[in-house]
A and B are shown apart, each in its own frame.
Chain A
Amino acid sequence: MTSSGMLNDEPMRESLQVAPLTIQKAQSGDHGADTMSSANMYSQSDITPPVTPNGSQEDLNTPPNDTKMFHSFLRAFYPFSPTYAMTDSTVTLPLNEGDVVLVHSIHTNGWADGTLLASGARGWLPTNYCEPYDPDELRNLLKALLNFWDLLRSAGINDSEVFGNQEFMKGIIAGVRYLLERADCLTRESPLVQSNDRLRRGRKSLLSELSSLVKTAKRLLEMQKLAETADDVNDIIDEMILKAFKIVTKGVRFLDILESDRRERASSVAAMDTRFEETHIPPTPPADATTFGDKDSQGKAKDADTRADGSGADAELRVPQTSASGPTTVIANKRVSSLYPPASASSNRLSHSNQVQTSSLSSTVSHRVSLVGTSNHHASPQNFVSERLLSCHDIFLTYSASLIGRLHLQSQSRPHLALAIKQSASSGGDLLVVVDVVCAKNALGSEFLHQSRTAMCDGIRNLVYTARDIINNPSGEFDDVVMPQDSSRLLAAATDCVIATGDCVHKTKLIIERIGDSEFEADNGSLGIDLDLGCLDVVQYESERRPSTATSDPSSVTESSVSEAATTTSTAVSVVSTAPSRLLTLSVDKPLPDVPQVMSPLGETQITSTPPTSRPQSLTEDAPAIARSSVTSVRPELPPLPKISTSLLSEEEYSPTEHSAEHEGEFQPSFRIESMTASSTGSNNTSLSRVSESSFVSQTSTRATTPDISSGPKNQLSLSELSTTESSTLTEEVDEVESKLLEKTFAHELIFNKEGQVTGGSLAALVERLTSHESTPDAMFVSTFYLTFRLFSTPKMLAESLIDRFDYVGEAPHMASAVRLRVYNAFKGWLESHWRDELDREALPKIQQFAEFKLSTVLPSAGKRLLELSLRVMSMDGTLVPRLVSSMGKTSTSISLYIPADTPIPASILTKSQTNLLNNWRAGGTCPTVLDFDPLEIARQLTIKQMTVFCSIMPEELLGSQWMKKGGVNAPNVKAMSSFSTELSNLVADTILQYSEVKKRASVIKQWIKIAHQCLELHNYDALMAIICSLNSSTITRLRRTWDIISPKRRQMLKHLQGIVEPSQNNKILRARLHDHVPPCLPFLGMFLTDLTFVDIGNPATKTSDNGMTLINFDKHTRTAKIIGELQRFQIPYRLTEVPDLQEWLQYQIIRVRELEMQQGNSVQVSYYRKSLLLEPRETQTLRTPVETPAGVNGPNGMFSWMRANSSSTSNPLAVAAQT
């Protein structure tokens, strides 16, 4: 790797350091962000030292502001520990610096519902403590994780399709591969890995994690086969998700190591240039003074190191951990290699402060730097009122959030609630003190403020009194539990309180702006509100709890980051608090005198590092922007919380176990999963969500992170357990995975939908999937591919791609033979079943050459076979292996499935006289009419005739609107179907119109209605459609006198039939009938043709992937194939007896009308219409001729007898027509 390459990556990393506001900015418009960063620029220029030439240009080119709306991953930039007792509620997640979070949704108030990758815990976390995390190297892996999560979360456990092909694993593997590739660490032998022990170990641990996941996935597959219980499968899925998280966590860490390594290298390169500046720069690390010395010395050690090295020969190959680096470096490195996220992240920052910072920083980072710098200059700590206000408000909101969250639980333990209310109230009191201070200073607008102060005061008081009533007067027999109705009262009070407080704080801030900030001088002890909070002391419970609250956070934060975190905590928090109206959901409060203790460490550090000017300024800028976005989401009530386990962990389990850190691989705090089941509370409120249905998310997506608490310890896999169980088998597994990684792959060029189906991809990626060695790709994919590849590629290109696949898989020996066999099979399948010689011939030379020279060297017999095949296709017409026309849709079992072979074939209904008629006709006698036969038998013979054509429709006839092009020469069967349909319609009209007697016409109409009815009974919708169209055509419906003598019963029947073929609402009724219809059935072909046409037209040929690649829109082809598959589902012949004589007669009739049509051209309909006019001329006035006497009916079966009976009672034929 070259140094320039490394430098190019610098801006990337720096953008990681974007200060906490990014996300909110992105949400509420970039207005504020711009002004702020430019403001920071200036402040930076005042304070920060001149930049080194390093990377400064890249920095200019890549402004850190990310305009994306939603970031799926965040990285905690500051540690965050919810300041109320964590044990009480798991709503809010603690963050360690460097933690990576999968975000499900972001509430407008800036809190995100996320899952901590390090622990799998889900909960709310403040986005202002985080920044978007999307480094180039990890992009594919992160995206794969998203897919993985979506897929495993949404897939039903019985979805063997999804799990069967292990496709979901590929993305993760490809992601890891991509990361290693980008890092130049793909192989163990790569110089970078060889030279850097930390990298080597990071890589190994990443790989072992991956192999463990692969193993679990295989186990899942086996379980699926064994049809294990749902619980077990769910356990494994949970485990897999956790493991995938771990992979990403390790990937992140690996990248961190890599970055620090790169920086060290970069520094060694740049040392010569920068040494001068560096030595003159006052060190401006972000950390505070207490840890500063430490870092400084480390930095110096590094400097020394650098210098020594820079003068050396080859800076590139320098190993970072030379002995020269001295003890401090060793410590730092140890921390890094301990892989404990905060530590590693802080060491990152450390190195930033030494090198990067002094070069150019993203403006926001330098803003932070400038803060620190300022604080160094201003030795005397300043305790500003504005700061104080914000931090108090923050505390208040935190408690209130906890309280409100708690109130949503079904039933509450009284003492817990009392404590929460006390905390809220007391913090509210603290806030009031601040407000009062401002009030006192503000002579002008005190009235303005006073009002809201009173409101806030009342709110708090109201809350406390409500609470007192409820807590001291148990309403039911459950003394210790607060009943839901009480909860809702409290909730209302708490919510009011938060609103009032928000308003008050807002106004106070306005006033501070006006009168200017000042130092805060007030006695912490005094409450701003005189309330007897003692009334809430139901039990001494809280006294046990409070200390733990107080201790939790300092201990969990590494020393070096404490002070800095504190600084930014306040900044960050202040952002949250600038949006008071939106924070309703979060808070309520009441001052407890002791609580400030909790915050005191924060408070003090804050004081030391408060910047004098820049902050308030930026705050005011934030406020409007936030306010704008806030309007939408003010909600009076929170949605009910999911039930949360109240069995919580003791404090130690929370504080990250610093020292599992000794050996790498054990970095994660030993959170037990269930303890962290953060109830992702009101995600209904969320404004942004990765999945659109945010409420849905919160219900379903907890699978991984919240194993059902009640279901016993079996589910409660802890991460540490996971890792120990793995470790034994790791070594051999790692090798396997490693080789897996070395595979060249195009997996990242595939796009999947949430069901795990491929929706897009490059040809190479699609071919790779087609020839995947681990599992057979799903049938739908394969058949879609074979069917449609000529639409997105050429036969030649496919052959080349397959050959290419054959070649590049050679680099991965362990799977080469398997894949090569698949390539052979792909060729074989193509040649045998999907070959279309006229189109594919151009690819043949390539295939032959491949078979002869490449394939046969590896697989001699396969090569021979392929060569044979290729020679045979040339000499053959059609495919070698007669394709089961429906290689998709129709399974081989279908026929036997639907029509058991032993089903008796119904006997044909043909009386002797009918047979005689036919014989007579064949001997040259008169032709029988449609009236001479049984409607059912005619329907059967029609159906047989049509089905024969329908079954011979080839899928390729249906592609690319072939049937519409060149007169349909390439779609002969489709054309035959449509012609037959038209001819049948014409036949109906023709047979009706051939009689001049009304009565005869009526009997023919009735006969056709019956035939249509029988077609419906046979599920022959195509014939039904044709007959109804004709009966319903204007030509026939206008024959009023004829319709007059048709019985209501028949007309009713016709009406029913018409309803079925009614085209409105996109053939709603017909579609409903065909859906899940069991063959045998002959659907209306036209509907499929229309669908295919619109799929073709309505979907673009290509789509663009996230990284800008133009990929084949495979989704379009899948849709096409699905429709064709649906059609093929019905390509199953009826079990009916063909009556040759009747077929012959039918054919004769059809030909007769066809010839008529040929004579008339397209105007045959017009000629029928004229005929209709002749038979029953337009009536100028109603002139109802009495029904004619029945003419001699030549039908021997007496089928018209009912007609005579009915003829006199016929009603208005409009009833029929009106049904259209």
Chain B
Amino acid sequence: MPSRYQPSREFHVVVLGAGGVGKSCLTAQFVHNEWIESYDPTIEDSYRTQVSVDGRQVVLEILDTAGTEQFVAMRDLYMKSGQGFLLVFSITSKTSLQEITSLREEIIRIKDDENIPIVIVGNKSDLEEQRQVERAKAYSLSQRWQAPYYESSARTRMNVDEVFVDLCRQMLRRDDVYDRSADHDDYYAKPEDAHTSGRKRRRRKRDHTRCVIL
């Protein structure tokens, strides 16, 4: 049960993308405290971080399974745990953009939710001279998906925080909406498909939050 008196919320974010698009750089940049001299990814808190979004404290747990892209069957498991997704491609690789298209379909299938918070990230924006994916193209794609599009650079740390904050904002908004419409939500609840359980759990969670607010 979510602690009702805790002002900060905790969200699970999954970072996805083809191998080599630098998504893990993005994650590392985001969670890495720069004053830490050496980074140890093997400890529990390696991927937990706190951000302030519009004055609200949010704890993010980031799941980035970099290095295991070949474990295709695992993706399902990872995606299930996510409440928000960062879909990263590299502006220097067209195939990486195709990859996120299928990733998005998979997410929507697994979460059974068209409106799951997603942010599209075109990484390696510092390599403008090697660009293969036009900004306009990526942008129109993101418009179709109704997801925000950012171009980032883990190297220059451009838009690194922004993409995570945007995702948080979406998740927070969504939480708030669910809080308000929770009653209806329950009423019109879909038949209890087992695979929507993740969503249901969250809905249950929201019920608690709603109690707090009302």
* A and B together in one complex: yes
Contact A963 B70 (CB under 8 A): yes
Query: Does B195 lie at the interface of the complex (its beta carbon under 8 Å from any beta carbon of A)?
Result: yes
Chain B nearest CB, measured from A584 CB (Å): 32
Residues of the A chain whose Cβ atoms lie less than 8 Å from the Cβ of B76? 1029, 1032-1035, 1165
Residue of A nearest to B102 (CB): A1162
Residues of the B chain whose Cβ atoms lie less than 8 Å from the Cβ of A1095? 39-41
- Mark out the residues of chain A between 1166 and 1191 whose CB falls within 8 Å of any chain B CB in the assembled complex: 1169, 1178-1182
Contact A1063 B38 (CB under 8 A): no
Contact A1040 B71 (CB under 8 A): no
Name which of B58-66, B86-94, B119-127, B128-136 contacts chain A. B58-66
Q: Which of B20, B28, B110, B198 contacts A1098 (CB 8 A)?
A: B28
Query: Does B194 lie at the interface of the complex (its beta carbon under 8 Å from any beta carbon of A)?
Result: yes
Residues of the A chain whose Cβ atoms lie less than 8 Å from the Cβ of B81? 1063-1064, 1220
Name which of A346-354, A946-954, A974-982 contacts chain B. A974-982
Query: Does A648 lie at the interface of the complex (its beta carbon under 8 Å from any beta carbon of B)?
Result: no
Name which of B42-50, B144-152, B166-174, B177-185 contacts chain A. B42-50
Chain B nearest CB, measured from A1130 CB (Å): 15
Chain A nearest CB, measured from B102 CB (Å): 7
| Complex-state Cα separation, A62 to B67, whole angstroms | 51
Name which of A408-416, A511-519, A1209-1217 contacts chain B. A1209-1217
Residues of the B chain whose Cβ atoms lie less than 8 Å from the Cβ of A1165? 72-73, 76, 106
Chain A nearest CB, measured from B13 CB (Å): 12
Contact B63 A1063 (CB under 8 A): yes
Residues of the A chain whose Cβ atoms lie less than 8 Å from the Cβ of B73? 981-982, 985-986, 1026, 1029-1030, 1033, 1165
Q: Which of A1065, A1089, A1116, A1181 contacts B61 (CB 8 A)?
A: A1065
Query: Does B54 lie at the interface of the complex (its beta carbon under 8 Å from any beta carbon of A)?
Result: no
Query: Does B32 lie at the interface of the complex (its beta carbon under 8 Å from any beta carbon of A)?
Result: yes
Chain A nearest CB, measured from B158 CB (Å): 17
Contacts A1178-B193, A1217-B195 given; indicate if A1064 touches B61 (C-beta within 8 A). Answer: yes
Chain B nearest CB, measured from A403 CB (Å): 41
Contact B197 A1092 (CB under 8 A): no
Contact B67 A964 (CB under 8 A): yes
| Complex-state Cα separation, A1033 to B71, whole angstroms | 13
Residues of the A chain whose Cβ atoms lie less than 8 Å from the Cβ of B191? 1179-1182
Question: How many B residues, CB 8 Å from partner?
Answer: 52
Query: Does A730 lie at the interface of the complex (its beta carbon under 8 Å from any beta carbon of B)?
Result: no
Chain B nearest CB, measured from A487 CB (Å): 42
Query: Does B24 lie at the interface of the complex (its beta carbon under 8 Å from any beta carbon of A)?
Result: yes
| Complex-state Cα separation, A1181 to B189, whole angstroms | 11
Contact B68 A1090 (CB under 8 A): yes
Residues of the B chain whose Cβ atoms lie less than 8 Å from the Cβ of A448? none
Residue of A nearest to B68 (CB): A1086
Contact A1094 B46 (CB under 8 A): yes
Q: Which of B44, B45, B69 contacts A964 (CB 8 A)?
A: B69
Contact A961 B194 (CB under 8 A): no
Contact B46 A1066 (CB under 8 A): yes
Query: Does A1043 lie at the interface of the complex (its beta carbon under 8 Å from any beta carbon of B)?
Result: yes
Chain A nearest CB, measured from B172 CB (Å): 20
Chain B nearest CB, measured from A754 CB (Å): 12
Residues of the B chain whose Cβ atoms lie less than 8 Å from the Cβ of A1119? 38, 40
Q: Which of B66, B192, B201 contacts A1090 (CB 8 A)?
A: B66
Q: Which of A981, A1034, A1063 contacts B195 (CB 8 A)?
A: A1034
- Mark out the residues of chain B between 7 and 38 whose CB falls within 8 Å of any chain A CB in the assembled complex: 12, 19-20, 24-25, 27-28, 32, 37-38
Query: Does B80 lie at the interface of the complex (its beta carbon under 8 Å from any beta carbon of A)?
Result: yes
Query: Does A1039 lie at the interface of the complex (its beta carbon under 8 Å from any beta carbon of B)?
Result: yes
Tell which of A1025, A1038, A1063 has the most Cβ of chain B within 10 Å.
A1063
Query: Does B53 lie at the interface of the complex (its beta carbon under 8 Å from any beta carbon of A)?
Result: no
Q: Which of A965, A981, A982, A1090 contacts B41 (CB 8 A)?
A: A1090
Chain B nearest CB, measured from A70 CB (Å): 16
Residue of A nearest to B193 (CB): A1038
| Complex-state Cα separation, A1026 to B73, whole angstroms | 7
Query: Does A1071 lie at the interface of the complex (its beta carbon under 8 Å from any beta carbon of B)?
Result: yes
Residues of the B chain whose Cβ atoms lie less than 8 Å from the Cβ of A1099? 38-39
- Mark out the residues of chain A between 1059 and 1114 whose CB falls within 8 Å of any chain B CB in the assembled complex: 1061, 1063-1066, 1068, 1071, 1086, 1089-1095, 1097-1099, 1103, 1113
Tell which of A968, A1064, A1066, A1162 has the most Cβ of chain B within 10 Å.
A1066
Contact B194 A1216 (CB under 8 A): yes
| Complex-state Cα separation, A1180 to B102, whole angstroms | 26
| Complex-state Cα separation, A1213 to B195, whole angstroms | 11
Residues of the A chain whose Cβ atoms lie less than 8 Å from the Cβ of B42? 1066, 1071, 1091, 1123
Chain B nearest CB, measured from A953 CB (Å): 14
Residues of the A chain whose Cβ atoms lie less than 8 Å from the Cβ of B46? 1066, 1094
Contact B67 A1092 (CB under 8 A): yes
Contacts A985-B73, A1063-B81 given; indicate if A1093 touches B66 (C-beta within 8 A). Answer: yes
Residue of B nearest to A983 (CB): B73
Query: Does A1218 lie at the interface of the complex (its beta carbon under 8 Å from any beta carbon of B)?
Result: yes
Residues of the B chain whose Cβ atoms lie less than 8 Å from the Cβ of A1093? 24, 66-67
Tell which of B27, B41, B43 has the most Cβ of chain A within 10 Å.
B41
Query: Does B78 lie at the interface of the complex (its beta carbon under 8 Å from any beta carbon of A)?
Result: yes
Query: Does A1115 lie at the interface of the complex (its beta carbon under 8 Å from any beta carbon of B)?
Result: yes
Residues of the B chain whose Cβ atoms lie less than 8 Å from the Cβ of A105? none
A1014-1044 vs B, Cβ < 8 Å mask (1 yes, 0 no): 0000000000011011101111011110010
| Complex-state Cα separation, A351 to B90, whole angstroms | 68
Residues of the B chain whose Cβ atoms lie less than 8 Å from the Cβ of A567? none
Query: Does A759 lie at the interface of the complex (its beta carbon under 8 Å from any beta carbon of B)?
Result: yes
Query: Does B1 lie at the interface of the complex (its beta carbon under 8 Å from any beta carbon of A)?
Result: no
| Complex-state Cα separation, A323 to B76, whole angstroms | 92
Contact A1089 B74 (CB under 8 A): no
- Mark out the residues of chain A between 1129 and 1188 whose CB falls within 8 Å of any chain B CB in the assembled complex: 1162-1163, 1165, 1169, 1178-1182
Residues of the A chain whose Cβ atoms lie less than 8 Å from the Cβ of B19? 964
| Complex-state Cα separation, A1102 to B40, whole angstroms | 16
| Complex-state Cα separation, A963 to B67, whole angstroms | 8
Contact B38 A1034 (CB under 8 A): no
Contacts A1213-B194, A1214-B194 given; indicate if A1068 touches B44 (C-beta within 8 A). Answer: yes
Query: Does B77 lie at the interface of the complex (its beta carbon under 8 Å from any beta carbon of A)?
Result: yes
Tell which of B27, B40, B77, B201 has the most Cβ of chain A within 10 Å.
B77
| Complex-state Cα separation, A1030 to B75, whole angstroms | 10
Chain A nearest CB, measured from B28 CB (Å): 4
Query: Does B109 lie at the interface of the complex (its beta carbon under 8 Å from any beta carbon of A)?
Result: yes
Q: Which of A986, A1025, A1220 contacts B80 (CB 8 A)?
A: A1220
Contacts A961-B67, A1090-B41 given; indicate if A1063 touches B77 (C-beta within 8 A). Answer: yes
Residues of the B chain whose Cβ atoms lie less than 8 Å from the Cβ of A1113? 38
Residues of the A chain whose Cβ atoms lie less than 8 Å from the Cβ of B27? 1094
| Complex-state Cα separation, A1068 to B110, whole angstroms | 24
Contact B70 A1169 (CB under 8 A): no
| Complex-state Cα separation, A1026 to B12, whole angstroms | 22
Chain A nearest CB, measured from B37 CB (Å): 8
Contacts A1034-B76, A1034-B110, A1165-B76 given; indicate if A1098 touches B32 (C-beta within 8 A). Answer: yes
| Complex-state Cα separation, A1054 to B198, whole angstroms | 17
Could you pull out 23 A-B pairs where Cβ atoms are within 8 angstroms? Answer: A978-B70, A981-B74, A1029-B73, A1032-B76, A1034-B110, A1066-B45, A1066-B47, A1086-B71, A1091-B67, A1093-B66, A1094-B66, A1095-B39, A1097-B25, A1115-B37, A1116-B38, A1119-B38, A1119-B40, A1162-B102, A1165-B106, A1182-B192, A1217-B195, A1218-B197, A1220-B197
What 10 A-B pairs are tightest by C-beta distance, nearest first? A985-B73, A1098-B39, A1217-B197, A1094-B41, A1093-B67, A1089-B67, A1038-B195, A1086-B68, A978-B70, A1033-B76
Q: A1089-B67, A1099-B38 given. 14 additional CB < 8 A pairs?
A: A968-B70, A981-B71, A982-B73, A1029-B74, A1030-B73, A1063-B63, A1086-B71, A1090-B67, A1093-B24, A1093-B66, A1095-B39, A1097-B28, A1165-B73, A1182-B192
* B residues adjacent to A (C-beta < 8 A): 12, 19-20, 24-25, 27-28, 32, 37-48, 61, 63-74, 76-78, 80-81, 102, 106, 109-110, 112, 191-195, 197-198, 200-201
